[in-house]
Amino acid sequence: MKKNNVLLCVSGGIAVYKAVALVSKLSQAGFNVKVLMTASAQKFVTPLSFQVMSKNDVFYDTFDEKDSNVIAHIDLADWADLIIVAPATANVIAKMAHGMADDMLTTTLLAATAPVWVAPAMNVHMYEHPAVLRNINQLHEDGIRFIEPSEGFLACGYVGKGRLEEPEKITELVVNYFHHQLGSDGQ
C-alpha cells in the first residue's frame, strides 16, 4: 500500500515545538512527511529536529536546490497528497490570502494542487483582528480548510482562542481524511 505524502509547512511562532511532535505523530501513523520551514520558524526549532523526526531533508531556502534534476518548490508541491500549514502565523495567512510568493513556503503553496489545511496559532487578539479574519475568509473562499485553534493559556500569558490544535488531534484529522479518500476511491 502506498504511503500518503504530507507536506508540513511550518511558520514562525512559539507553537513550532508542537510541529515537531506533529511530524512524529504523522510518521508513526504511517505517513511520509516532509517539512518546509520559514526563516522565522528556524529561530524556534532547527531543521535538524524535523529531519530526525521525518527521516527526510528539510526545506527552507528557495534557492537551495538539493536535487539538480528538479526545482524544489515545484517538486514538493507535486509530491504532496496533503499540505498542512502549522503553525500558521498571521503573517503567513496574510501572504497566502494575497498570493504572495516571497519565500519557499509561499512559492510552494502557490504551485500546489493538493488540498491545503491551515492550523493558525497566535495571540487571541491577533486571531480576532479584522485583517486576520478577512484573510481567513479569503482563504476559505479559495478552498483552504482550517483546523481551528483551541482555547486555553497562550504563550503570551493571555487565555483565549489561539493555541495550535494538539498534534494528536491534527493527526487524527489526517488519518480520517485519507481513510475517507481511500473509501471514496473504492480501494
User: Which residues are marked as active site?
Assistant: 156
User: How far apart are alpha carbons 101 and 107 in whole angstroms?
Assistant: 5
| 34 strand-pairing partners | 7
C-alpha separations of 149 from 21, 29, 90, 91, 122 in Å = 16, 22, 13, 16, 9
User: 146: helix, coil or strand?
Assistant: strand
User: How far apart are alpha carbons 47 and 64 in whole angstroms?
Assistant: 14
